[in-house]
Chain A
Amino acid sequence: MRVSTWLYRVSLLMGVLVSSMSFAQGSSVITGNVTDAATHKPVPDVVITATSPALQGEEVVVTDSAGSYRLAQLPAGVYTLKLEKESYKPFARSEINVRTDRTVRLNVEIQPESIEGGVIEVKGTAPTVDVGSTTTGLNVGKDFINNIAFIQPNGSGVKSFESLAAVAPQVVSDDYGYGFSGAQSPENNYLVDGVSTNDPAFGVNGSQFPVEFVEEANVITGGYQAEYGRTTGGVLNVVTKSGSNEFHGTVWGDITPGVLAGVSPAIKNDSSVFVGQNRLWNSIDFGAEVGGPIVKDKLWFFVGFSPSFVRSQATQSLRRFLINADGTDFQYDTDGYIKSEPLAGTTKTRFNDVRAFSYIAKLTYLVNSDNNISLSVVGSPTSATQPYSFNDRRIAWNGGFTANNNTSTVSLRYQGGFLDKHLLADVSLGWFHSTADATPNDGSTPGSTQAGTAYGTPVVLLRRYNADSNVGPITSPYSINDLQTLPADAAAKCEPAGTKSTNVVSVRGEDRILFACPATGPSGSYAIGGFGGFSNTALDRLQGRASLTYLVQALGHHIFKVGIDVENLRYDISKGYSGGAALQENITGTRFDDFRTYGYFVGPDTVERTAVVHGQPTSVGIGAYVQDSWSIADLVTLNAGLRYDNQQLFTASGLLGMTLNNQFAPRVGLIYDFTQQGRSKLFGNFSQYYEGVPIDLADRALTGESTFNFRRARSANATRQGCDPLKDINQATNECNDPNNYQQINRLLGDNYSVNASGQSVGNGVTPVDPNIHPQSSDEIVVGGEYEIISDGRLGASYTKRWMNYVVEDMSLDEGNRYFLSNPGYGQGSAFPKATRDYDAVTVYFTKAFSDGWMGQFSYTYSSLRGNYNGLFRPETGQLDPNINSDFDLVSLLANRNGPLDADRNHFIKVFAAKEFRITNAVGLTIGLTYQGRSGAPINYLASHPSYGADESFVLPRGAGGRLPFRHEFDAKVGVSYRLNKDNQIQLTADVFNLFNFQAVTSVDQTISNADFLPFQAPAGKDPATAACLSGSNQAQCPSDGTLPIKEYDPNTGKIVFANSAQLNPNFKRPTGYQAPISVRFGIRFTF
């Protein structure tokens, strides 16, 4: 089908663009020159036919006047090329291994017929160096997936494709996935069959499905061209399997029995009498995938499904703290922790189940030799069930609920070739859809007003406990007998219901109330009542992409591309609190206050409650690019491109909230193949990247949240009934909403000028945007080289340097009274230091594809990641609020924040190797080994910030606490296969993770104090920890009375004083997390 000339011209003129983002199939290239073996001159008009099991039909091209050919839009696979021309001997070359997004160069010399001999067939592997690009990263294909143990199941038991990213160098795991090249995981672009599956609200990967559905994954960590945008990290591009002309498939089953899983060391704590434990009971997944022809060479199908189940056992038991014989203090162990003993008969056990059902269906249709269409849908509905709560004060609904999460990705793609394949078109439409909600077992729904139901009853947080006389009167906690019905023996060992104690003792420097079985205390509140906070979401991404590629010859070969993509994000969110309110007891037990109740004032002290807050923030983004890949004499390739992006974010009510304009991103790269045979390259690349902002910002900052607060007196008197939902939970919606019970707090505090006497509006307003804000971007330089040292094996080295340009964050210039969105260090944010994140990495790697019975992947990366900006989430707290986390809120928060960032791993070694042994013709043994060794993360000294609270103040410069230990991990996979016949094979496997059960510490307590320590500046040249008297001993500046040279804010006096060592947290640097213990997964696989 030839496109009309008119349309072709219009397309080029208007720049109607067709993106060549790498897609499901058809993004690889084989290119090269054909020369006469005798004269070494280029041979034009040679007919080249490419065939492959991965290809529908065959691809035919003809060499041009310079003898060059280019086979484009090829699906990844193994190819055979046949070259034919009159007066030349036919030539064939097979086993050309082509990976996704790769360009393989194959130069051929054909022999004139005058020379003796028949068809020349060359076996052996073709060169594997990708001479068309400057990207860093690697491809992970089926060989890797089948032979190496590295996919650990996620919480829903799905061996999801995201783990594939871990294999590449310069990739470090973080709280939300895998970060590339110093960036964090939410900054990456995740593509499945060309559709972006980033969670539209938070940027993390939103899709999951088993690796059995994956044909290949391309992990791109840097150096990528203008066709990829909206990412300041990298790209994980996944291609799902397609059908072929033959029926092939797999049926599999895996089980990870919990009984074989190791146990992590216990982490000591004495903050609560509730002892909880979660352990894996078992994890099972099984499934089938099959593909084949519906009409040979015309219509193929691929389908797959895979249910997975994870059962974990949650246990809660109670213990009591031991009090010494004379009742004056606790009993302590040698570490100063309170001794405790378990209470018999209080252990409760339940099973929490997570079920997922992953599916895929795909059709590939060859319209004719020049045009094809494919349609795919992949998804994974998941439900996680908690059958009931251990807390028996959760009224009639018993705390049981099911959390549902459903993701699906639909992709429709068209590829076409015109003008003898000199003009290629690629058009696709995609839809990513994700929903999340929670359904209690009683079937109630958000907004319900029915008393006694999960959603109809407010949650009430009991917090009565105060051991600090500066804050208020010493107040006793509740006894566990006040809130739970225990077996008689256990009940007798605890304080009877109604007991109150105000004896205060010091536990490792912190005041605690002497109480054997406190139900409330420093560890948190005790919830009674309804479901509490809920947030039901539906996320959508609609995408359209198009690209046109035009081959032109002018002083060499040009591959000229233009592309456009349009993206619409929607975040439909319904949130609120069950029963329209969440109440919280104060620490002295005299009141119940609104914890976070949605609603708005309509008059003085008069509110309208909002049981369900609903909004739909959206974003529209458009990207376009032009790019040329100019190949000069097969020696040097110059890639030059320019990408343009624009994004507009809209509030929940549909109004424009923020516009991020003029994101012009140049990408320039140079590749030099000194062998001129596709076996080497030296390359350099400069790229600028822009962030695609997730729309959580549009919900939280650009829309705002309207909540209010009233205080209700608990006790009754002549003028009020009092509000006591502990006596009767129904009071939470009745008496507690009676204005007679509201304390006129503003007037009581002597304020006659507040409009409201009792109530207070406490929600976040809309955050305004600096009119001169710049979109967030970063720059990158990559240089490197590769050389094919053995057949199918490449040795390479690269150096990557990345740094941030502008960062978008919310800031306040008036101590948190008013915030605005701007760029730290620029414009309205000039008072703030610039946000910096500097990444330098040198990587040495060797990679060999599976051939001759073995494969290997080795990389060593030395890197440095320093600055004051981690990225879209805060590792210190796990807060994921892209572009509006608390990092840059106040200037005073930023002292001492420069240093090694959380994802800094100076040394990272990754070794993956697999070898196949043939025992007999039918029986084979495969052994795969993995070793990963990495430096530990930096340790910080954190304290409380006077206005922002715990762990927000860096007392010493970032990273001054040294490093976590180096962590080693060995994984192994053993597979025994039995070949039934040519096409059918059965395999038994065992994957062992953490083979030697190393228990390296992976996190430690970084809180040096809960007091308001102020940032400390050490004298130049001195170690900060020693200068601050926090390490070392007998320092001259460290008096024997424990006074520290660190200043502290005393909230009681408002003055600055010197801190004291008695305020230090004795738990500092003690472990809070360990490496995941050994676990084993058994599998069986039937391949046909």
Chain B
Amino acid sequence: MSKTKIGLVGLASAVMGFVVQGCTAQQPPPQCDVVTSSPLYGVSEYYATTTKTGDNASADCANAPSNTLTNLTVGMTRYAPPGLPHTAVVRASYLIDVWNGDVYTGDQDPTNDCSKSTSPGKCKFCVVGTAPNLTFADGGAATETLADGGLVGIPVPGGDGGTRVVLTNACKVTEEAIARTDPNDPDGLNLNSFALIPNYPDKNGICELSQFDGGYQNFQAEPLVTGELPAITAAYNWSSFDIVNNAKAQGTFWTAKLEFVEGACKTNFDVVGFWPLVSCATLDDQGNPLTDMNGDFVPNQSACDPNADVDAGRVFGSGINPFFKPNCSAKLGTCVPTVTTADLQKAD
């Protein structure tokens, strides 16, 4: 066989091979990706529902605030430096709320004399003294007689145009938000959990995060007027963090197992995270969410609808992926997907 003939046969074979491969080639999967929130651009964080599956039955679990977690707000991002492994970052709300002081508080005025009432918001007015010689710590004069003296209260506008003092134990709730600090991490860099994220999903369309690092704080003890808030370690231990990444859902839905450590308590949760976070509680005229007698939100299902409906007053859809079939949760006041990972993996 001459070289020309060999060359021609080889060329023809290559061409036929390409033709056959072209007939059967599949579309490539999308890259593993997450949504990076930006309040600047109106891009929300992820929202995650948490379902407790168990704890280590320590005494702390009964008292740990995290014990009753039902949801998390989760910020995520991805670093994809060219030629290097990609990193995903998970930044979940509870630990940050503790860090910010939104969870733990300390009573700064145990003697109820308002001598420490410097915290904004919680105890602006502290009634001192007994009726009828009541004066307000901010200098104002009392205009009402207390039903029983010695108790403290907060003045509110009265129905008759005057002011009445509502009996509360307000100064007992003179609780100052106590921001927590990890002395070894004053800037809170370990609030972020870093993990490896693959470049492309596996054959099931799943991007699994692995090798988590970070997501903890060793909070030091914080002194109170009397006593102290004890030192405590709080940490997220994520596992089975599976992000759905296919043509239907591009990094906007994930499931994970979470072991949350708060002191001696370890609580386990199943977590379902999704994006975007859309509130759907019906609002009153002042823009505040309405609640019913059970304390649940009044759901507004149309707020979850991915489709715009100008006639119904909605210029925009909710921005939620219609494949999520979202529903408004009365408990949470947010739109929640009603599908599972398996539903999103099904081809149409």
Contact = CB atoms under 8 A, between A and B. Distances in A.
Given A657-B28, A814-B319, A1056-B310, A750 B39 contact: yes
Contacts of B22: 622, 646, 648, 659, 661
A608 B81 contact: yes
Interface stretch (B114-122, B245-253, B258-266): B245-253
Contacts of A37: none
Contact of A661 (B24, B192, B319): B24
8 contacts: A564-B15, A646-B23, A711-B40, A752-B97, A753-B96, A755-B36, A765-B31, A771-B347
A772 B246 CA distance: 13
B45 to A, nearest CB: 5
A662 B26 CA distance: 12
B302 to A, nearest CB: 14
A818 B31 CA distance: 13
B5 A6 contact: yes
A6 B147 CA distance: 116
Contact of B30 (A15, A750, A768, A946): A768
Interface string B73-117: 111110111100000010111001100100000000000000000
Most chain A CB atoms below 10 A, which of B26, B247, B307, B321: B247
Interface string B13-56: 00110110011111111110101111111010100000000000
B227 interface: no
B26 A771 contact: yes
Contact of A892 (B45, B74, B246, B308): B308
B12 interface: yes
B37 A751 contact: yes
A601 B28 contact: no
Given A600-B82, A709-B40, 20 more contacts: A10-B9, A14-B12, A15-B12, A16-B11, A16-B15, A600-B81, A602-B81, A620-B18, A657-B28, A754-B91, A755-B76, A755-B77, A755-B89, A760-B40, A766-B31, A771-B26, A814-B319, A820-B250, A828-B247, A1056-B315
Contacts of B161: none
Nearest to B347: A771
Contacts of A831: 307, 322
A1049 B310 CA distance: 9
Contacts of A603: 79
B24 A753 contact: no
Contacts of B248: 828
B80 A600 contact: yes
Contacts of B250: 765, 768, 818, 820
Interface string A569-612: 00000000000000000000000000000001111100010000
A763 to B, nearest CB: 10
B76 to A, nearest CB: 7
Nearest to A17: B15
A608 B307 CA distance: 39
Nearest to A706: B80
B93 A947 contact: no
Nearest to A768: B30
Interface residues of A, number: 71
B155 interface: no
A656 interface: yes
Contacts of B192: 604, 755
Interface in A611-638: 620, 622, 624
B289 interface: no
A751 B15 contact: no
A625 to B, nearest CB: 12
Main secondary structure of the interface of A (DSSP, over half): mixed
Contact of A659 (B16, B25, B310, B313): B25
B41 A762 contact: yes
Given A14-B12, A754-B39, A604 B316 contact: no
A754 B38 contact: yes
B27 A658 contact: yes
B8 interface: yes
B307 A891 contact: yes
Given A749-B39, A760-B36, A761-B77, A14 B308 contact: no
Contacts of A814: 276, 306, 317-322
Contacts of A1056: 310, 313, 315
A754 B277 CA distance: 13
Interface in A766-804: 766, 768-773
A113 interface: no
A602 B84 CA distance: 10
A813 interface: yes
B160 interface: no
Nearest to A773: B27
A10 B26 contact: no
A200 B204 CA distance: 35
A746 interface: yes
A657 B28 CA distance: 6
B348 interface: yes
Given A648-B25, A661-B25, A820-B247, A828 B348 contact: yes
B30 A766 contact: yes
A620 B26 CA distance: 15
A1014 B312 CA distance: 13
A813 B37 CA distance: 19
A644 B96 CA distance: 59
A754 B37 contact: yes
A756 B320 contact: no
Contacts of A604: 89, 189, 192
A827 interface: yes
Contacts of A760: 36, 38, 40-41
Contact of A813 (B79, B316, B322): B322
B91 A661 contact: no
Contacts of A624: 19
Contacts of B19: 622, 624, 644, 646
A566 interface: yes
What 6 pairs between A and B have smallest CB-CB spacing? A768-B30, A646-B22, A753-B75, A749-B39, A659-B25, A769-B27
Nearest to A815: B319
A608 B79 CA distance: 11
Contacts of A813: 306, 321-323
Contacts of B91: 753-755
B27 A817 contact: no
A706 B18 CA distance: 33
A486 interface: no
Interface string A885-909: 0000001100000000000000000
